[in-house]
A and B are shown apart, each in its own frame.
Chain A
Amino acid sequence: MIPLEYYLVLSGILFALGFYGVLARRSAILILIAVELMLAAVSLNFVAFASYMDAELFTGVIFAIFVITIAAAEVGLALGIVLRIFRERRSANVDEASSLKW
């Protein structure tokens, strides 16, 4: 049987990788990809806890469903905003999108 810690450590590593991506990347869409990794790490953590420690109610699985839903909504909306910024600035580089109004 696989110990619970295996899943937890994997999700921690995945979260750290996503965090690195958010900090290191400059293109808005690549930052979105890294955010997706972090969300996936969180849902893996939820499901692992639900499966091992909450066998009757499995609330973590329900939460993982909501996390995936919100992640899909977030990607759609964020891509709309990125396209808008790109159209105004001719660039999807987040360093250049530094003004609130232009």
Chain B
Amino acid sequence: MGGAVVLNRLPLPAQLDRTVTTGGLLAGAIVTPPLIALIVLRVLGNISSAQMVWWMLAGVIVAGALGAVTLRNVVHSALALIAAAMGLAGMFLLLASEFLALVQVLVYGGGVAILLMFGLMLTNATEDPVVIDGSQKPFAAGVGLILGVALTAAMLSANWDASISTVVDFRDLGARLYRDFGVPFEVASLVLLVALVGAVAISRRDNDDDNDAEAAS
């Protein structure tokens, strides 16, 4: 009741108000049961805290990935990708490599997400939602399902001689990266530079060529 009053005071259009309320209620209804189940399992001692966090993050990642590949609104799809990337950053933290988690947040949450948004806004992807998914969708679903089952079965059937997970120290990571992978590191920076220059060169509006083409035709 209180929430509804607050929502009525927000300067939102009436339709958006309803969308926010129903969307929030729907999301809460979907998220709450597994969350309660996880907490109950933790309290009963069936799973460790790390496992509880793992299941939460896995839920965020899989839901984000599903949203990114199935949502019809392309901006929502990009936002779902960000959610999956943030869940993955949490997964990296759980795997005890903090540096990668930071890089994941900076690069995916910042750079890639903004770039994709720019791409979506600069093309007509938002205006034409009908063509998003082609008629090949059932075929794609079948292939994806087969691939997922095959990968899962392969990874479960192999006998990994896995020890306990270890923390990757910032200092060790830097030493390893610059001492043993110095040349690939430099090559990677060169690749970034070339990609940047190439992107500018490709997407630049070349008026000279256009004029030439018009003059020729």
- Interface flags, A49-85, vs B, CB<8A=1, else 0: 0111101011001101110111111111101111110
Contact yes or no, B88 A40, CB < 8 A: yes
Q: Which residue of A lies closest to B184 (CB)?
A: A66
- Does B120 reach chain A (CB closer than 8 Å)? yes
Q: Is the interface of A mostly helix, strand, loop or mixed?
A: helix
Q: Which residue of B lies closest to A14 (CB)?
A: B65
Contact yes or no, B155 A8, CB < 8 A: yes
Contact yes or no, B199 A80, CB < 8 A: yes
Q: How far is the CA of A86 from the CA of B78 in the complex (A)?
A: 19
- Does A100 reach chain B (CB closer than 8 Å)? no
Residues of B within 8 A of A6 (CB): 54, 58
- Given known contacts A20-B144, A65-B177, A69-B191, is B160 in contact with A52 (CB within 8 Å)? yes
Q: Which residue of A lies closest to B153 (CB)?
A: A12
Residues of A within 8 A of B56 (CB): none
Stretch of B26-34, B37-45, B163-171 contacting A (4+ beta carbons < 8 Å) = B163-171
Contact yes or no, A83 B119, CB < 8 A: yes
Contact yes or no, B155 A76, CB < 8 A: no
Q: Could you write out 21 A-B pairs with CB less than 8 Å apart?
A: A8-B160, A12-B152, A13-B62, A15-B151, A16-B145, A16-B148, A20-B144, A21-B69, A25-B134, A47-B92, A52-B162, A58-B97, A62-B176, A68-B103, A69-B192, A73-B191, A80-B200, A80-B202, A81-B202, A86-B122, A86-B123
Binding site for A on B (CB under 8 A): 48, 50-51, 54, 58, 61-62, 65-66, 68-69, 74, 77-78, 81, 84-85, 88, 91-92, 94-97, 99-100, 103-104, 107-108, 111-112, 115-116, 118-120, 122-125, 128, 131-134, 136-137, 139-141, 143-145, 147-148, 151-152, 154-156, 160-166, 168, 172-173, 176-177, 180-181, 184, 188, 191-192, 194-196, 198-200, 202-203, 205
